[in-house]
Amino acid sequence: MKYKNLIISKRFITSSYSCLFYLEHELLKYNTVLWAFGNTSRIGNKYVDGFKSFDNDTWYGKIPRIRLFFSNIHAFFLMMTTKQTVIINDLDFFIEAYIAKKLRKNLNIIHYNTELPGKDVKYSKLIEKFYKKHANFPDMIIECLPERALYRKKKWEITKPIFVINNTIPSSDIPEYDDEIVRDYVDFYNDKPILVFAGRCNDNLILKDLVDSMSKFENKINYLMFCHGDIKYKNQLKHKCERYIKNGSCKIYDAIPRNKLLMIMQKCNIGISFYNPNYSANYKYASPSKIYEYIACGLNIISSNNEGINHIIEDNKIGVCIKDNENIVDALNRLLNNDCLSNNKIKEMFYESLCYEVQAKETINELLNYVK
């Protein structure tokens, strides 16, 4: 089948890369289809109408190496038969897109970046060398943060303008609050502020600091945690919390569907997100959709002091960023001693200026020059 416009990625289309789905949803009326990996037919509370899966909609089998090999051939075939514009994600299929462009001069290539190559996002030396030489070939380049755009221009000597779609979420993605669902998880017997953590449970600094804060804020905060990852670390975390917290103000659950989590967050007061800026360029210029989920649900935020995250939080006065000489305990103290914005005020800010419909508008309008 020939498509007019194509978005193609090797990513698994989950909430972490839901920005690809949101873009496809915006361009669906221009006959745009999204090809990627993943077994899901929905993101959050929305069905993915134009999603084709390299896992489900092909005959490649279950062996990862074979599936990846055939996906590269398939990707090149799709690019050669797409009528107008191909949007590639990161460096996956970058070489295939370059060859397709050489063979088809009228084919538009858009390079949409969600990651920076580095020690946490690895590519072969061949691909990185090829990218350095040909980084300017796409017709349009998109980044997910202004600070990342500047970093990319300098690092790879890009002379073309780079447009930005912040890694936020649409306002329509926030589910209507359902008290029957929420109260199954949020059943604290007091009115203390609720701090929510949703993420991987492993032996890292953020969880150690968070557990340490529990012993110091036992009478001030309720802790609500949704964790995925190694069962060994989950059990360790539960054991530590039971040791530190004796009054039932800490509850730990396994990860739950994003739609439910967004409902529950609307009942919380503080959200926490941590990306160690010293670990990699991706972390230094982190653009987590989790931050925007917190804002959409009206939460004050405690975050690492990353370029890009910090100005969103501090300029809008919706939380605190952990300073170099601080830990979570210090940051929590600062937040609780500040005049926190109300839940409704933060939500209002999201709908007026920080949701996808507003943040992506300028870049989408530029993109329409290629896909209409």
141: closest CA among 108, 104, 172? 108
Q: Exposed (0-12), middle (13-18) or buried (19+): which is 72, by Cβ within 10 Å?
A: middle
pLDDT(242) > 80: no
Q: End-to-end alpha-carbon separation of the chain, Å?
A: 19
Crossing angle between the packed helical segments 205-216 and 328-337, to the nearest 10 degrees:
50
Element (H, E) at 6: strand 5-12
Q: Exposed (0-12), middle (13-18) or buried (19+): which is 313, by Cβ within 10 Å?
A: buried
Element (H, E) at 130: helix 125-134
Alpha-helical segments (H) within 186-227: 205-216
pLDDT digits 0-9 by tens, 357-366: 999 999 999 9
Whole-structure pTM value: 0.90
The confidence score (pLDDT) of residue 148 equals: 95
The confidence score (pLDDT) of residue 12 equals: 84
Superfamily of domain 5-168+356-371: Glycogen Phosphorylase B; (3.40.50.2000)
Q: How confident is the model at residue 265 (pLDDT cuts 50, 70, 90)?
A: very high
The confidence score (pLDDT) of residue 49 equals: 72
Asked whether 3 and 83 are in contact (CB, 8 A), the reply is: yes
Which residues lie below 8 Å from residue 198, measured CB to CB, with a gap of 6+?
225, 226, 227, 255, 261, 290
| 172-354 has the same fold as 5-168+356-371 | yes
Q: Can you read off the two tokens belonging to residue 349?
A: 């800010």
pLDDT(23) > 90: yes
Q: In this prediction, what percent of the chain has a pLDDT beyond 90?
A: 53
pLDDT digits 0-9 by tens, 159-199: 999 999 999 999 988 999 999 999 899 988 788 899 998 88
Q: How confident is the model at residue 241 (pLDDT cuts 50, 70, 90)?
A: confident
Domain ranges of the chain: 5-168+356-371, 172-354
Q: How confident is the model at residue 103 (pLDDT cuts 50, 70, 90)?
A: very high
Q: How confident is the model at residue 47 (pLDDT cuts 50, 70, 90)?
A: low
| Mean pLDDT computed over 56-74 | 85
Q: Which residue has the higher pLDDT, 15 or 300?
A: 300
Task: For 172-354, give the CATH class.
Answer: alpha beta
The confidence score (pLDDT) of residue 15 equals: 65
Neighbours of 144 (CB within 10 A): 22
**Dihedral angle at the C-alpha atoms of 214, 193, 273, 300, nearest 10 degrees?**
-150
pLDDT digits 0-9 by tens, 121-150: 889 999 999 999 999 999 999 999 999 999
CA angle 99, 100, 103 (to 5 degrees): 85
pLDDT(152) > 80: yes
pLDDT digits 0-9 by tens, 191-218: 889 999 888 776 665 677 777 777 777 7
Bridge partners (DSSP) of residue 42 are: 47
pLDDT(44) > 60: no
The confidence score (pLDDT) of residue 298 equals: 96
